[in-house]
Every structure is written in C-alpha cells, then in structure tokens.
C-alpha cells in the first residue's frame, strides 16, 4: 500500500515538473533553433507529462478494480 502512495506522489511530482518545463524548454528551443525545434521539444515534453499523469492515476486507483487493470495497460505501454 505504501509503495503505491509513493509511486503516485513521485509521478505526480514528475507531471508537475513537466508542466513547469514546457514553456521554459519550448521558449529556449525556439530562441536557439527555431519553430520546428520548439514544436518537437513541446511534443516530447507533453508526452512525458501524459506518461507521468497516466502513471499517477494508475497508482492512485484502488487495487483490483477494472479501471486499474485498464490503466495498468496504458501505464506499462508508455
């Protein structure tokens, strides 16, 4: 039980960090390399955010529920 809480918290922290890094990294990339680089970096950071978000939701679900099974498939596919 405690491990799931720790996983939820650490993955939520990762999701928040990705939200903070999105404008910073895309702005830096745009200034250094242009629009296409900024677009690519933004897609990458958004993908990391979605990965951490889905993992946070998965680890916060009640054990044995149908939703947790579906979210486990999503979590492990990322």
Binding-site residues for Zn(2+), please? 59
Q: Could you tell me which residues are annotated as the binding site?
A: 59
Cα–chain center distance at 12: 8
Cα 72–chain centre separation: 14
Other beta carbons within 10 angstroms of residue 71's beta carbon come to 19
């Amino acid at each position: 039980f405690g491990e799931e809480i720790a996983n939820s918290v650490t993955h939520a922290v990762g999701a928040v960090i990705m939200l903070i890094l999105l404008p910073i990294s895309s702005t830096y990339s745009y200034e250094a390399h242009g629009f296409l680089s900024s677009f690519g970096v933004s897609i990458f950071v958004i993908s990391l955010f979605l990965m951490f978000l889905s993992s946070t939701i998965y680890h916060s679900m009640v054990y044995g529920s149908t939703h947790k099974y579906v979210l486990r498939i999503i979590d492990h596919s990322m």
